[in-house]
Amino acid sequence: MELYKLTLASILNRKTFAIFALLLIALPFVLPIMTPWETKPSLLEPARSQAAWGLLWVAALGWLLFQGATIGDRWASNGILEYFKTLGVSRFRQIAEIWASVFTIFIGFALITFVISTFTAMPGDPVEARHWMHTNLQYLGLFLIVTAPLLVFAIALGTRINGAAAYAVSVGFALYGLFGIGYLEVFLADNTNLLLNLVYILSPHYHLADLTSRLVFKLGAIPAAEVAQIAAYLGGIGIFLIGLSFPLYREGK
């Protein structure tokens, strides 16, 4: 657990997490007021939930992956990982401890968002409220299934290449999954070309984990079977990324 403690102490000492935590708490209450809600006050609550989740995605893409990539780079460059290797800490354990330290703080972020989204924007209707709760839980689950393996990937890549490059690659991969596929859909999916279709199928469809529209437009929770399929798909991509991270990870640069 020494590597876990060391990494966590390092993150806490740098304090950038505090800025994100503050924004995650404050902005969901500030941003909705900036919208033209005057003639439709019922816009405010969904807007709060939308802001909370949007900011959490920003924190995931801007803070989480950056921390993973730079810590991987820093620890590998400074010889810390080689030191732990000489102590007999296995590669698996090293990755797990670094991952756990960054994710400890990030879980706090996710909980802030979950609480704000669930309890400060809950619909009055009891049936809608139940759906709201379920949707938020589903969202949290899928979000973590996407972000947790991406962090492993960013850490492993950071130990292999420069931190900035590792961040660019991991965040690029996440952005491609969230937005890029949507743009390329017409080109990749709406044809009969085997190669293009394969690229489409093999692309990480992270947009499936974005349930914001279900919250904003109160579409209700996704049926359990569908959620299981989405979770299996995103989980599979996650296991693949963790698998890819093992050969990428190295203790010394």
Partner 1 sequence: MKKLHHPVTIGFCLMIPGLLLAAAGFFALSSDKPVRTDRNPFALQKSAYGKLLARLSETTIDRAWHLGVEQIVPHIITPEEIEDEAGHDHDHADPSDHAESSDEFVYHVTAEQIDARGNDASQAESTSEEDVFVYEVGEESDPAADHHEHSHSGCDGCSDCAHEAPVARGDESLIERSKLWLAGKRYVKYDRTNPNAISGAHLASVKKEIEGMLLRSYKLDPLHYGAYDSYHLFLTAHEYGGTEQTRKRARLIARLTIQEAMRETEDPLAYLTGAAAAYNLFHMDANRHRAANTRMTPVEVKAHQERIGHLLARFEALQEEAEEKGIWQNLSTDRQMEIVERYLLASRSFEQFDAMLARFAAPQGTIEEDVASMLDVDEL
Instruction: Count Cα neighbours of 238 within 13 Å in the Cβ-side half-sphere.
Output: 19
Nearest to 215 by CA among 131, 147, 141: 131
For partner 1, which residue of 43, 133, 161, 196 counts as binding (CB under 8 A)? 43
Give 8 or 51: the residue with its C-beta nearer to partner 1: 51
Q: Considering only residues 7, 67, 101, 245, which one is a binding residue for partner 1 as defined by CB under 8 A?
A: 245
Q: Name the residue nearer to partner 1 (CB basis): 122 or 184.
A: 184
SS3 92: helix
Long-range contacts of 136-139 (CB under 8 A, 24+ apart): 136/49, 136/215, 138/211, 138/221, 138/222, 138/227, 139/53, 139/209, 139/211, 139/212, 139/214, 139/215
Binding to partner 1 by residue 215, rule CB under 8 A?
yes
Smallest gap from residue 178 Cβ to partner 1 (A) = 6
* Distance, CA of 24 to CA of 58 (rounded, Å): 10
CB of 4 to partner 1, least distance (A): 21
Q: Applying CB under 8 A, which of residues 185, 187, 198, 224 lies at the interface with partner 1?
A: 185
Q: Please list, in sequence order, all residues whose beta carbon lies within 8 angstroms of the beta carbon of residue 115, skipping any fewer than 6 positions away.
A: none
Q: Among 64, 23, 236, which Cα is nearest to 72's?
A: 64
Task: Check residue 108 for interaction with partner 1 (CB under 8 A).
Answer: no
Residue from 39, 127, 195, 223 in contact with partner 1 (CB under 8 A): 39
Q: Name the minimum Å distance from CB 140 to partner 1.
A: 16
Residue from 113, 210, 221, 222 touching partner 1 (CB under 8 A): that is: 210
Judged by CB under 8 A, does residue 110 bind partner 1? no
